[in-house]
């Protein structure tokens, strides 16, 4: 039987197949179909299985990462959505927090609300912060709203009442009335999606979920039907933003949880690969065709956050802490009004793509610059399946960049790469150095189709001494899906001072959360013996605005004194100080319900005839610095490199999904798991 992981990217759709019998891993890649992502999934799976002679009926698992919810938001192509909220609060969605990311930049504009003001409706009701009902809900208000929703042809509704995280009674009554009156309406209730305080973030997340819901449902249903039609008997799972897997019914209910679906899988995969390679502290560096996604793994664990934005809209759901910038192989190089060279965030994407791909692209991109410098093959990519138009790439950079700047083509191409690398370096520092981490103690895990070709330059700029290139790095996110567990997060807001007397009531909340978690895992067909729970208490000193997360082990009998000690240690780690004797306020209790999945996996075995001589494909004249002559560089086939031999750069290593560039003076070897380990990064600069 076979397990397949699929990651849908902006340029390519990637596949990893795991043979459950022997742990063998195979990889595949096809062009994405942005107009309908499911087309690339189905055609790629069919092509992958036929290529290796496998039957679709032998597939035991399909997991996929998707950017559909994110793209719907970015492109504002979601459903026509209404908001139903407490009387007097319909403008919370637009007022927000009144924060400015750049205080003195008066050109910054807040994004337009996803729900127009005329579609924000108010209901007479009021629940207080302690959960008591001050004003009963007027259900007749909902009858009036129903008529307006029908008249406006609304497809989805978000229900978000004040303090419903404490008492969902009114939201449940409103949902029931709407479902009875409009059976086909997609409804998201905030107390079901996100039962925690902070009204604006809860409202924004609820609206975003409703906005994406109908289109996401259509996509999931279409994809599942096509996969079934090709003979696969299992229903696909989807990876969500916290690195876990959800079934289609759960995703239909919570599409907002998939906003960082694919990138999260890459971080999960990186943590597993880094652990095998003996690295606990890693910066993940995922460079695709349209974006660069960076995150950090500390002591073997990905870092999480529950506060971030998607297309500038706040989303408050637990997710892996990933920083995304518009810099990738398809990023377009252009000149601004001051005649300065810029790169990105605009991208040529999958269609038309870089000029070198010969698909109608006309604007110079990062990929075109790499082709001109011969860092990428000027003949073909993807094991010969993609012909490269090197002359066309040279011409577009000459006419659009080099001649306007009065410089040579190699200088222009090098400038494009240096700007792109600088942008990537800033993204890495934002998740590491700016948060107190010493990058000299980390390794850079480079993957994605374009990550390995930029890795050494970016590592040198950031002061990272070691680079890890996993096998078939262009498919790492698809591989990460096969390393992910089934999981979902649950939360209960507490908001009260905690002491020895109130401690038992607080701990009792976890019993309720575990009950919810067990019920959900049972609905996902997870056996009790394969169930696990991760628990944290979010707390802060009285007077603070933000909380820290204190872990509580699944079966731990945590007492109050131990909690205070653990809280002080976590607070000191994050803020650099603690305040003994200061009152502590608990905000939330969180639980992640986890269903374990099998992970058969074999270490890489090099072919018996592996040797440096057998791996040599050709020699290529490559430009590393336009001030110097091009260097005669060996080009190797990764599949034929021997394990353990330490080699000296320069070198280019090619494989189906990516190309690795190793500058002069740098050393590298292949480890037992098949990873390329690159060291002496500073020596190459």
Q: Residue 551 sits in a domain of what CATH number?
A: 3.30.1490
Among 215, 241, 274, identify where a domain stops.
215
Long-range contacts, stretch 43-46, CB < 8 angstroms, 24+ apart: 44/6, 44/13, 44/15, 45/4, 45/6, 45/15, 45/227, 45/230, 45/232, 46/230
What is the pLDDT, as a whole number, of residue 46? 93
Is position 387 within any domain? no
Does residue 83 register a pLDDT over 70? Answer: yes
In terms of domains, do 229 and 211 share one? no
Distance in angstroms (rounded) separating the CA atoms of residues 154 and 131: 31
**DSSP readout, 26-86?**
EEEEEE--TT-HHHHHHHHHHHHHHHHT--GGGEEEEEEE--HHHHHHHTT-S--EEEEEE
Query: Are 83 and 161 members of one domain?
Result: yes
pLDDT at 11 over 80: no
Q: Kindly state whether residue 448 falls inside one of the protein's structural domains.
A: no
Q: pLDDT band for 311, please (50, 70, 90 cuts).
A: confident
Does the residue 355 lie in any domain?
no
Q: What is the pLDDT of residue 553?
A: 86
Of 595, 621, 646, the one marking the end of a domain is 595
What does the alpha-carbon distance between residue 191 and residue 131 come to, in Å, rounded to a whole number?
12
Taking residues 435-441, what's their average pLDDT?
90
33 and 50 both lie in a single domain: yes
The predicted-structure confidence for 495-526, as pLDDT tens digits, reads as follows 889 999 999 989 889 999 999 999 999 998 89
Distance CA 302, CA 281 (A): 10
- pLDDT per residue as tens digits for the range 120-140: 999 999 999 999 999 999 999
**How far from 37 is each of 260, 266, 591, CA to CA, in Å?**
16, 19, 33
Query: In this model, does residue 152 exceed pLDDT 60?
Result: yes
Q: Are residues 25 and 125 in the same domain?
A: no
Question: What is the per-residue pLDDT for 600?
Answer: 60
Q: Is the pLDDT of residue 105 over 90?
A: no
pLDDT confidence tier of residue 3, bands split at 50, 70 and 90? very high
Q: Note the helical H segments in 303-431.
A: 366-372, 390-397, 403-405, 409-431
Model pLDDT, residue 263: 86
State which residues form the domain around 651. 612-684
- What burial letters (b/e) apply to 187-202, b meaning 16+ CB within 10 Å? bbbbbbbbbbbbbbbb
Q: What is the 3-state secondary structure (H, E, C) of 185-237?
A: CEEEEHHHHCCCCCHHHHHHHHHHHHHHHHHHHHHHHHHHHHHHHCCCCCCCE
Is residue 349 predicted with pLDDT exceeding 80? no
Establish how many alpha carbons lie within 13 A of residue 348's alpha carbon, considering only the half-sphere containing its beta carbon. Answer: 24
For position 118, which CATH number holds?
A: 3.40.1360
What share of the chain has pLDDT > 90, as a percent? 68
Residues 207 and 221 occupy one common structural domain: no
Looking at residue 150, what is its pLDDT?
Answer: 96
CATH number of the domain bearing residue 45: 3.30.420.40
Kindly report, residue by residue over 400-409, the tens digit of the pLDDT.
Answer: 999 999 999 9
431 located within any domain:
no
Residue 34 confidence class, pLDDT cut points 50, 70, 90? confident
| 296 or 72, which is more confident | 296
Backbone angles phi, psi at 29, to 5 degrees: -155, 135
Verdict on whether the full-model pTM lies above 0.85: yes
> In this structure, are 83 and 210 located in the same domain?
yes
**Is residue 68 located within the same domain as residue 93?**
no
* pLDDT score of 569 more than 80: yes
Judge whether 468 and 274 are in contact, CB under 8 Å.
yes
User: Is 470 part of a structural domain of the chain?
Assistant: no
First to last CA, the chain: 48
Among 158, 188, 215, identify where a domain stops: 215
Residue 127 in any domain: the answer is: yes
Determine the 3-state secondary structure of 480 from DSSP. helix
Position 659 pLDDT exceeds 60: yes
- Separation CA 613–CA 583 (nearest Å): 68
Share of the chain above pLDDT 70, in %: 98
174 and 87: one domain? yes
Exposure pattern of 11-37 as b/e (b: 16+ CB <10 Å)? Answer: bbbbbbbbbeeeeebbbbbbbbbbeeb
CA distance 71 to 352: 18
Would you state the pLDDT for residue 682? 65
Q: 448: closest CA among 325, 289, 330?
A: 289
**Does residue 469 fall inside a structural domain?**
no
Write the pLDDT tens digit of every residue in 389-424.
999 999 999 999 999 999 999 999 999 999 999 999
**pLDDT bracket for residue 577 (50, 70, 90):** very high
- Give the span between the Cα atoms of 409 and 411, in whole angstroms: 5
Q: How far is 587 from 336, CA to CA, in rounded Å?
A: 47
Residue 603: the pLDDT is 60
**Looking at the structure, do residues 583 and 663 belong to the same domain, yes or no?**
no
Mean pLDDT of 72-78: 85
Are residues 97 and 188 located together in one domain of the fold?
A: yes
Calculate the dihedral angle through the C-alpha atoms of 477, 483, 488, 489, rounding to the nearest 10 degrees.
-80
Give me the helix-helix angle, 199-229 and 37-52, nearest 10°: 40
Same domain? For 136 and 154 the reply is yes
The pLDDT tens digits for 168-215 are 999 999 999 999 999 999 999 999 999 998 899 999 999 999 999 999
Between CA 351 and CA 368 the distance in angstroms is 15
Question: Do 110 and 206 fall into the same domain?
Answer: yes
Counting the structural domains of the chain, the total is 4
Q: Nearest Cα to 392, choosing from 362, 413, 420?
A: 362
- The angle formed by the CA atoms of residues 146, 150 and 156, to the nearest 5 degrees, is 80
Residue 297 falls inside a structural domain? no
């Amino acid at each position: 039987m076979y397990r397949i992981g699929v990651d849908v990217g902006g340029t390519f759709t990637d596949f990893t197949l795991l043979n459950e019998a022997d742990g063998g891993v195979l990889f595949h890649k096809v062009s994405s179909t942005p107009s309908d992502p499911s087309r690339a999934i189905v055609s790629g799976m069919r092509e992958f299985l036929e290529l290796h002679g496998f039957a679709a009926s032998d597939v035991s698992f399909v997991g996929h990462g998707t950017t559909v919810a994110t793209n719907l938001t970015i492109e504002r192509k979601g459903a026509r959505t209404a908001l139903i909220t407490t009387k007097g609060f319909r403008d919370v969605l637009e007022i927000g927090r009144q924060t400015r990311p750049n205080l003195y930049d008066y050109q910054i504009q807040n994004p337009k609300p996803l729900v127009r003001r005329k579609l924000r409706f108010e209901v007479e009701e009021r629940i207080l912060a302690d959960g008591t009902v001050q004003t009963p809900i007027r259900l007749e208000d909902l009858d009036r709203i129903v008529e307006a929703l029908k008249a406006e042809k609304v497809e989805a509704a978000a229900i978000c009442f004040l303090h419903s995280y404490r008492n969902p009674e009114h939201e449940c009554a409103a949902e029931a009335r709407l479902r009875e009156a409009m059976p086909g309406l997609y409804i998201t209730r905030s107390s079901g999606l996100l039962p925690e305080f902070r009204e604006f973030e809860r409202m924004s997340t609820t609206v975003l979920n409703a906005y994406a819901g109908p289109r996401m449902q259509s996509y999931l249903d279409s994809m599942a039907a096509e996969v079934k039609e090709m003979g696969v008997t299992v229903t696909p799972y989807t990876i969500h933003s916290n690195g876990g897997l959800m079934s289609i019914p759960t995703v239909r209910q919570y599409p907002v949880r998939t906003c960082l679906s694919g990138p999260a899988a890459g971080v999960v995969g990186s943590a597993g690969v880094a652990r095998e390679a003996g690295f606990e502290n890693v910066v993940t560096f995922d460079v695709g065709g349209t974006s660069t996604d960076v995150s950090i793994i500390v002591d073997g664990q990905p870092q999480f956050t529950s506060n971030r934005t998607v297309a500038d809209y706040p989303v408050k759901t637990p997710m892996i802490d990933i920083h995304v910038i518009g810099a990738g192989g398809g990023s377009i190089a252009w000149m601004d009004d001051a005649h300065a060279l810029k790169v990105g965030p605009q991208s040529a994407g999958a269609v038309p793509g870089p000029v070198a791909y010969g698909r109608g692209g006309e604007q110079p991109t990062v990929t075109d610059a790499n082709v001109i410098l011969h860092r990428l093959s000027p003949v073909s990519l993807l094991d010969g399946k993609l012909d490269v138009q090197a002359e066309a790439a040279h011409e577009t950079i000459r006419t659009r960049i080099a001649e306007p700047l009065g410089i040579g083509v190699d200088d222009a191409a090098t400038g494009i790469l240096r700007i792109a690398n600088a942008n990537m370096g800033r993204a890495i520092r934002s998740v590491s150095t700016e948060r107190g981490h010493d990058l000299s103690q980390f390794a850079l895990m480079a993957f994605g189709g374009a990550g390995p070709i930029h890795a050494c330059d970016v590592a040198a700029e950031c002061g990272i001494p070691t680079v890890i290139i996993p096998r078939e790095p262009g498919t790492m996110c698809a591989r990460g899906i096969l390393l992910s567990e089934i999981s979902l997060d649950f939360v209960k807001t507490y908001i009260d001072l905690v002491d020895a007397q109130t401690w038992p009531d607080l701990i009792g909340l976890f019993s309720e959360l575990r009950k919810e978690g067990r019920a959900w895992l049972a609905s996902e067909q997870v056996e009790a013996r394969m169930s696990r729970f991760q628990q944290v208490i979010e707390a802060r000193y009285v007077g603070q605005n933000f909380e820290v997360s204190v872990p509580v082990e699944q079966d731990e009998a945590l007492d109050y004194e131990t909690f205070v000690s653990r809280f002080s240690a976590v607070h000191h780690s994050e803020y650099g100080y603690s305040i003994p004797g200061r009152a502590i306020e608990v905000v939330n209790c969180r639980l992640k319900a986890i269903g374990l999945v099998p992970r058969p996996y074999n270490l890489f075995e090099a072919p018996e005839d592996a040797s440096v001589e057998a791996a040599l494909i050709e020699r290529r004249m490559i430009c590393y610095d336009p001030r110097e002559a091009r260097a005669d560089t060996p080009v190797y086939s990764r599949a034929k490199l021997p394990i353990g031999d330490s080699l000296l750069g320069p070198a280019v290593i090619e494989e189906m999904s990516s190309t690795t560039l190793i500058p002069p003076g740098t050393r590298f070897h292949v480890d037992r798991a098949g990873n390329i380990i690159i060291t002496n990064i500073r020596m190459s600069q």
